Amino acid sequence: MHKDIQYSASIGIDKHRYSIYNFFEMSDDYMTDKSPIKDRILKSSLKWLAIIVLLAAFTSSLWINFGLRAPVEARSKTVGLLVDYDELKRIADGSYNIEFPDMLRKAALSGATGLVVRERILSDWEIAGDILVFSGGQFTFQLENIYGKPISEIIPDIQIVPGKTYILTEDPRVYSQIFSMLEAKRRYPEPFEYQGYAGIAVSLHSAERANLGLGFPLAQLEQAAAEGYLIIPRIRNWEPVNGNSLTEVMYWIGKIPNLAGIGFNDQTLPGDISNQILLDRYEEAMKPLRKPLISFEFYDQTGLPALASRLDNNLIRAHAIAENELQKYADFDDAMARYSLAARERNIRYIYLRFQGLIDPAASMLGNLELIEKVREGLMEDGLQVGNPEPIPAFSAPLIPLYLLGAGVIAAGGWLLALFLEPFFGKRKWRIPYFILMLLGLVAWGVGLVMLNVFARRLFALAGAVFFPSLGLVLLLKREYPALSRVKRLLRAVLQLLALSAFTLAGAMIMSALLGEPEFMLKLNGFFGVKLAHIIPLAIVPAVLWIREKDWYGLLSGTVKGSVRLWQLGVCFVLIAGVALYLLRTGNDSPDAVSDLERSARQLLDTWLGVRPRTTEFLIGNPLMLVMLYYGYRFEMFPLLMLGVMGQISLINTYAHIHTPLMISLQRSGHGLWAGILIGIIFIVIIEAILQRLRTVNTKRQ
Q: What is the mean pLDDT of residues 617-622?
A: 90
The predicted pLDDT at position 31 comes to 40
Question: Please, where are the H alpha helices in 128-198?
Answer: 136-147, 151-154, 172-184
Residue 695's pLDDT band (cuts 50, 70, 90): confident
Write down all domains in the chain, each with its CATH number in brackets: 20-73+394-701 (no CATH), 127-215 (3.10.28)
**Mean pLDDT value of segment 585-604:** 61
- Provide the percentage of residues in the chain whose pLDDT is more than 70: 84
Say if pTM beats, i.e. exceeds, 0.95: no
Pairing of strands 197-202, 190-194: antiparallel
- Given a contact cutoff of 8 angstroms between Cβ atoms, the answer to whether 659 and 313 are in contact is no
Confidence band for 579, pLDDT divided at 50, 70 and 90: low
**The pLDDT of residue 566 is above 70:** no
- Burial (CB < 10 A; 0-12, 13-18, 19+), residue 473, is buried
- Listed residue (684, 651, 680) closest to 500, CA to CA: 651
Q: How far lies 335's CA from each of 80, 181, 285, 344, 356, in Å?
A: 16, 38, 38, 14, 12
Q: Is residue 282 within 8 Å of residue 310, measured between CB atoms?
A: yes
Position 446 confidence tier, pLDDT thresholds 50, 70, 90:
very high
Name the DSSP class of 394. P
Structure confidence at residue 117 (pLDDT): 97
**Amino acid of residue 522:** L
pLDDT at 637 (0 to 100): 77
Q: Amino acid identity of 358? A: L
Average pLDDT over all residues of the chain: 85
From CA 327, how far away is CA 356, in angstroms rounded? Answer: 8
Name which residue leads in pLDDT, 78 or 566: 78
| Residues 6 or more apart in contact with residue 675 via CB below 8 angstroms | 613, 618, 622
Give the phi and the psi of residue 234 in degrees, each rounded to 5. -120, 115
**What is the pairing mode between strands 165-169 and 132-135?**
antiparallel
Cβ atoms of 258 and 229 closer than 8 Å: yes
Q: Of 221, 230, 222, 214, which is closest to residue 182 (Cα–Cα)?
A: 214
The yes-or-no verdict on residue 20 having pLDDT over 50 is: no
Which of 242-251, 296-305, 509-518 comes out lowest in average pLDDT? 296-305
Write out 5-58 in H/E/C secondary structure.
CCCCCCCCCCCCCCCHHHHHHCCCCCCCCCCHHHHHHHCCHHHHHHHHHHHHHH
* Whole-angstrom distance, CA of residue 10 vs CA of residue 13: 6
CB-neighbour burial class of residue 135 (10 A; exposed 0-12, middle 13-18, buried 19+): middle
How much is the pLDDT for 448? Answer: 94
CB 564 within 8 A of CB 9: yes
Q: Taking Cα atoms as reference points, which of 214, 219, 209 lies closest to residue 180?
A: 214
pLDDT of 609 above 70 = yes
C-alpha span between 455 and 375 (Å, rounded): 39
- Reduce the DSSP state of residue 118 to 3 states and report it: strand
Is residue 229 pLDDT above 50, yes or no?
Answer: yes
Mean pLDDT of the 324-329 span: 80
pLDDT for position 576: 65
Percentage of residues in the chain having pLDDT higher than 90: 58
C-alpha separations of 64 from 58, 169, 455, 567, 633 in Å: 10, 58, 19, 51, 37
The arithmetic mean of pLDDT across residues 464-474, rounded, is 95
Looking at per-residue pLDDT, the higher value among 572 and 466 belongs to 466
Among the ranges given (33-37, 135-139, 396-400, 517-521), the one the predictor scored with the smallest mean pLDDT: 33-37
**CA–CA distance, 37 with 430 (Å, rounded to integer):** 12
Strand (E) or helix (H) holding 233: strand 230-235
Q: Would you say residue 656 has pLDDT above 90?
A: yes
Side chain identity at 24, as an amino acid letter? F
Q: How far apart are CA 354 and CA 263, in angstroms?
A: 17
